[in-house]
Amino acid sequence: MKKKLTKMITKAIQCCLDTHSLPFLEIPPILLELPKNSAHGDFSTNIAMVLASQIEKSPYEIASLIVSNMADNEHVIQKVEIAGPGFINFFIDPRVWYQTLHIIHELRRAYGSSNLGQGKRVQVEFVSANPTGPLHIGHGRGGAVGDCLANILKAVGYHVQKEYYINDVGNQIDTLGQSVFLRYKQLLGEDIDFPSTYYQGDYIRDIAKEIVSKYNRKYLNMKEEDAIPIFTSYGVKHILNSIKVDLEDFGVRFDNWYSEKELFKSDAVHSTVRGLKDKEYIYEKDGAVWFRSTRFGDEKDRVVVRSTGDTTYFASDLAYHKGKFERGFETIIDVWGADHHGYVPRIQAGIQALGYRKDALKVILIQMVNLLREGKPVSMSTRAGEFVTLRQILDEVGRDAARFIFLTRRADTPLDFDLEVAKKKTMDNPVYYVQYAHARICSVIKMASERNIAVPKPPEICTHVLNLPEELQLIKQMAIYPYIVEGSAYHFEPHRIPYYLTQLASSFHGYYNKYRILSHDSDLTQARLYLVAALKIVLENGLDLLGVSAPERM
């Protein structure tokens, strides 16, 4: 519909140019918006005002010219008005809106999908928590956003891969191995002074216990430098496994798990540094090796090889991102915690130095989650090993509520997550509001079928009896769903989907309370069933993008 109107307007302007009723000018992109106020029509354009700034004619005059030159061959427009400072408002013929019901029923699961992405390859990397401890609530938010974003991009026609980057080498991992080893010795009766810089959580002890029960005192007699690597890899494997289980239960499944260790094995880290050296982006100072990121706008140069000879995390990241492009992704998306935002300029400098476009990388920053219970903050201290894990959230509030709440607010604003509110089944918690709309529709359809009324097929339907303002409103809302998905993809903003779904559910609940779907009027009953069945499809598709279930009963 939008495309049709755009085309008609463009033609009308072209027509004005041809007849010289408008002076020569370049036709700017025509923006059609959906007015908030229904008195302003179904679509509205400001094109006359935009043109007025280029030529000496009043917006009203230009608008009149455009309108009088418009050819509505398909009779889709019911009425056109010029209003306000020069808006052209279009009122669409209801028959056109009824078409969208047919489209929804025909496309079903595919309704809302498009080919915006044209099959371009995109990678979304998210969560990527270090395998040194269980996932916490912040990872949950990142997981929900990354997963949903990937779903949305897929829906608009990108070829998407979801990846988890495993930082399985480096200081933190070494510390993990040492922590487990010390707990192991402690369990076997040695008197141990456990350093405060080591991982304090109970899960470390659990891993040590497991090793004791499997291997008993075997590693006690071994030299420490031989034993610790064994504890390290055992710990990593164990923790990574529980991370996978948690994510699975959270409904997040990755296409690929990428190991930093493999990056070293293939010599990618060092060869990336060498490659940069050839381009003179690398120099030595104070015994360390530096990357000249200031060349690309970073505030200072960054170390890639420490004076100890160890490469930095940043060096790995350069190699990792280079590899992403080499694997054929045109766009790569990194979902990071906002506390890493200072890292963005240097990694962007990096990919430019490696010869890729700065905007080929999009970093989505996820703000922190404030965990509350009944309005009061829940204390969390990573160092003391006291934190609320994603597992606990899943057990307490459930996957659907957790995901929906994570996705309802913009990623870049801090989020208050109240455990008690998340369990409530009221409008504090819009998950159930949306799911309830879906369940209600299922219930109505079921009731209808018990009365031997099936959801009708398109040719049997008299959609024109759907002439209530609420019904047209619902149809129009469903009609914009594909635009919502596209906009959400274009701006990398998943939160638009839950917002839309809540509005859609609200329109439905209002309609449902005011009118009856099943009545003695057979035509009307059929038409309304057809309407709500379409609504059910849209709700399902939307919830599916969020990774939230659409229950038939609740």
Partner RNA sequence: GCGCCCGUAGCUCAGAGGGAUAGAGCGUCGGACUUCGAAUCCGCAGGUCGCAGGUUCGAAUCCUGCCGGGCGUGCCA
Q: Which of residues 41-80 bind RNA (CB under 7 A)?
A: 41, 44, 46, 49-50, 52-53
Q: Residue 297 contacts by C-beta under 8 Å, 6 or more apart in sequence?
A: 345, 348, 349
120, 159, 373, 409: which one binds RNA (CB under 7 A): 409
Residues 335-364 that bind RNA (CB under 7 A): 338-343
- The three-point CA angle 382-383-384 to 5° equals 95
Which one among 23, 28, 85, 377 touches RNA, defined by CB under 7 A? Answer: 85
**Which C-beta is closer to RNA: that of 25 or that of 427?**
427
Ranges of beta strands (E only) in 115-171 are 121-125, 159-166
CA angle 214, 219, 225 (to 5 degrees): 135
Q: How far is the CB of 198 from RNA (least distance, A)?
A: 14
CA distance 125 to 127: 7
DSSP states of 471-501 as a string?
A: HHHHHHHHHTHHHHHHHHHHTT-TTHHHHHH
Closest CA to 467 of 1, 98, 42, 101: 98
Query: How near is the Cβ of 217 to RNA at its closest, in Å?
Result: 33
Query: Applying CB under 7 A, which of residues 190, 262, 267, 416 lies at the interface with RNA?
Result: 416
Contact 39, 98 (CB under 8 A): no
CB of 441 to RNA, least distance (A): 9
Residues 99 to 138: which contact RNA by CB under 7 A?
A: 130
Binding test (CB under 7 A) with RNA, winner from 93, 396, 428, 523: 428
Contact with RNA (CB under 7 A): which of 14, 19, 33, 382? Answer: 33
Q: What region, left, alpha or beta, does residue 28 occupy, with left being phi > 0 and alpha being psi -120 to 50 degrees?
A: beta
Residue 285, SS3 per DSSP: strand
Residues 444, 518 contacting (CB under 8 angstroms): yes
| C-beta neighbour count of 109 within 10 angstroms | 10
Report in angstroms how near the CB of residue 554 gets to RNA at its nearest: 4
- Cβ 215 to RNA shortest distance, Å: 28
Nearer to RNA by Cβ, of 287 and 328: the residue is: 287
Shortest spacing between CB 317 and RNA, in angstroms: 9
Q: Does 195 bind RNA (CB under 7 A)?
A: no
3-class SS of residue 302: strand
Please identify which residue in 20, 24, 26, 29 interacts with RNA, judged by CB under 7 A: 29
439 lines the binding site for RNA (CB under 7 A): yes
| C-alpha–C-alpha distance, residues 419 and 410, integer Å | 19
- Report if residue 312 touches RNA, rule: CB under 7 A: yes
Burial zone of 530 (CB within 10 Å; 0-12 exposed, 13-18 middle, 19+ buried)? buried
Q: How far is the CB of 225 from RNA (least distance, A)?
A: 20
By CB under 7 A, residue 413 contacts RNA? yes
Contact yes or no for 111/179 (Cβ under 8 A): no
* Binding range to RNA, per CB under 7 A, among 2-10, 20-28, 103-111, 312-320: 312-320
Instruction: Give the shortest CB-449-to-RNA separation in angstroms.
Output: 11
State yes or no: residue 7 binds RNA (CB under 7 A): no
Those residues with Cβ within 8 angstroms of residue 499's Cβ, 6 or more apart along the chain or in another chain: 408
8 Å CB contact between 16 and 54: no
- CB nearer RNA, residue 52 or residue 332: 52
Q: Which stretch binds RNA (CB under 7 A): 96-104, 142-150, 166-174, 264-272?
A: 166-174
Residue number, 69 or 408, with CB nearest to RNA = 408
**264: helix, strand or coil:** helix
What is the maximum alpha-carbon separation in the chain? Answer: 97
Q: Is 425 in the site for RNA (CB under 7 A)?
A: yes
Contact between 374 and RNA per CB under 7 A? no
DSSP string spanning 440-474? HHHHHHHHHHHTT-PPPPGGG--GGG--SHHHHHH
Q: Which of 27, 103, 288, 462 binds RNA (CB under 7 A)?
A: 288
Question: 99, 149, 108: which is closest to 125 by C-alpha?
Answer: 149
Q: Is 215 among the residues that bind RNA (CB under 7 A)?
A: no
**Contacts (CB under 7 A) with RNA, residues 464-493:** 480, 483-484, 487, 491, 493
40 near RNA, judged by CB under 7 A: yes
Minimal distance in Å, beta carbon 440 to RNA?
A: 5
Question: Which of 60, 198, 264, 314 is close enough to bind RNA by CB under 7 A?
Answer: 314
Q: Considering the rule CB under 7 A, would residue 39 count as an interface residue with RNA? A: yes
Which residue lies nearer to RNA by CB, 293 or 389?
A: 293
Q: Which residues between 220 and 279 bind RNA (CB under 7 A)? A: none
* Position among 9, 32, 70, 87 found at the interface with RNA (CB under 7 A): 87
Look up residue 280 and give its amino acid.
Answer: E
540 binds RNA (CB under 7 A): no
- Find the helix or strand (DSSP H, E) in which 244 lies: helix 224-249
Residue 331 structure tokens: 């766009």
Shortest distance in whole angstroms from residue 2 CB to RNA: 12
